[in-house]
Amino acid sequence: MQWIAAQWQSLVGVWVALPYFVQVTVQIVIVMMSVIIAVALLTLAERKVIGWMQLRLGPNRVTFFGLRLLRGWAQPFADVFKLLLKEIIVPGRSSRLLFLLAPLIVLVPALATWAVMPFSPEFVLADVDAGLLYVLALTSLGIYGIILAGWASNSKYAFLGAMRSAAQMVAYEIAMGFALVGVLMAAGSLNLGEIVRMQAGGPGSWNWLWLFPLFIVYFISGLAETNRAPFDVAEGESEIVAGFHVEYSGAAFATLFALPEYANMILISALTSVMFFGGWLSPFQGYLADDALLAQPGFFWLFLKICFFLFVFLWVRATFPRYRYDQVMRLGWKVLIPVTLVWIAVEGVLAWLRVGPWAA
C-alpha cells in the first residue's frame, strides 16, 4: 500500500515537472482518446439498446480472448478494423482533393468542441470566456464537410443529400442559437464553467425548470443537427440511397459518417447536461448534508447525465419514424423558432420582475 502511494507521489512529481505545453498536449490526447473510445462503445450500445427494444439480442458473437462474459463487446473494434482495412474508392469524375478532405472537415469540429467542455470543477482544457460562442461557431462548421462530401462525389443522390442537410442545419442552428441565448440570459455568462456554477443548488435550480421549452427545443435541434432519426432525411435510404455518403467507403466512410455522427451525439448530450442539467453538479445537492459523498460535484455526475441523454437519442431512434422532408423544415422554422422567441421574451419579463432564479 505504501509502495503504491510512493509510486503515485513520484508520478505526480514527474507530471508537475513537465513543461506546460507537454501537460496540455497529454490532456488533449487523453480527452480525444476517451471520446473516440466512447464512440466505439456507443455504436455497440446503440445496436444493443435498439435490439432489446425490438426484442432482439443485438451483437453477441465477437468477444475478447474467448471470454463468454464479454460476448459482443469486441464488435465495435472488429467493425473499426474492417473499415480501416478496406479500400477507399474515389469516384472517377469526382473532385479528388475535396472528396478526401470532406471527412476531415466533419471530424475536426466534432472533436475540437471538447476543448471548452467543463468536465469537472477543476478540469477544463480551455477555460475561455466566450465558450458558448465557440461551441456555436464550431458546431456550425461540420456542415461544410457534409456539403463538400455531397458535391465532390459528383453523384445525384449525394448532392441531394448534401442540399437537404445544408437547409436542415441552417434552419435548426437558428433554433439552437436562440435556445442558448436563453441559457446565457439565465447565467449571465458565456463561460461554460460559469454556466454550471450558476446552477448550483440541486435539481430545482438547474436551468431546465425555468427554461423548459428551450431545453426541449435544444434537444430536438440537437437531434436534427446530428442528422439522427427522426431527422435523418440527409441519408434517407428509402429515397436517396444513403445521401451524402453514398460514394464513400473504408476509412473515409468511417471518418465521414460514423465517427463524427456519434462524437456529435456525445457532444450534444454533454452540452445539454451542461446547459440545462447542471453539468458536474450533484443531483443530491441541497437534499443531503453538504459534506455527504453523494452531494459532491464531480465528473461522475456529468458522465451519468451524458449516458442518460445518449439513451434518449437511441430511444428516439427506435421509436419514431422518419419525418418527411417538408415536415422537417416546417418544424424547424414554424414551430421551434417561434417557441424560442416567445420564451426569450417571457424570460426577459421574468428577469425584469426578478422572479425565480433572478430573485437575487
Write out the residues near other proteins by the rule CB under 8 A.
98, 128-130, 133-134, 136-138, 140-141, 143-144, 147-148, 151, 159, 163, 166-167, 169-170, 173, 190, 326-327, 330
Q: How far is the CB of 353 from other proteins (least distance, A)?
A: 20
Q: Between 98 and 125, whose beta carbon lies closer to other proteins?
A: 98
CB of 17 to other proteins, least distance (A): 23
Choice between 56 and 96, CB closer to other proteins = 96
CB of 282 to other proteins, least distance (A): 29
Which one, of 203, 227, 230, lies nearest residue 308 by Cα?
203
Shorter beta-carbon distance to other proteins: residue 312 or 344? 344
Nearer of residues 147 and 233 to other proteins, judged by Cβ = 147
CB of 218 to other proteins, least distance (A): 17
In whole angstroms, the minimum distance from the beta carbon of 147 to other proteins comes to 6
Q: How far is the CB of 78 from other proteins (least distance, A)?
A: 37
- Rounded CA gap, 126 and 122, in Å? 11
78, 302 Cβ separation under 8 angstroms: no
* Cell numbers placing 210: 425555468
Minimum distance from CB of 326 to other proteins (Å)? 8
Q: Residue 173 or residue 235: which is nearer to other proteins going by CB?
A: 173
Burial letters 94-115, b for 16+ CB under 10 A, else e? bbeeebbebbebbbebbbebbb
Report the nearest approach of other proteins to the CB of residue 24 (Å): 15
The total of other beta-carbon atoms located within 10 Å of residue 31's CB is 17
Q: Closest CB to other proteins among 263 and 328?
A: 328
Q: What are phi and psi of 288, to 5 degrees?
A: -105, 170
Query: Distance (Å, rounded) from C-alpha 3 to C-alpha 82?
Result: 43
Based on CB atoms, which residue is closest to other proteins, 37 or 342?
342
Separation CA 91–CA 95 (nearest Å): 9
Measured from the CB atom, the residue of 83 and 169 that comes closer to other proteins is 169
* DSSP code at position 255: I
Query: Could you please report the per-residue DSSP string of 289-335?
Result: -TTSGGGS--HHHHHHHHHHHHHHHHHHHHHPPPPPHHHHHHIIIII
SS (H, E, C) 321-332: CCCCHHHHHHHH
Alpha-carbon gap, residue 172 to 159, rounded angstroms? 20
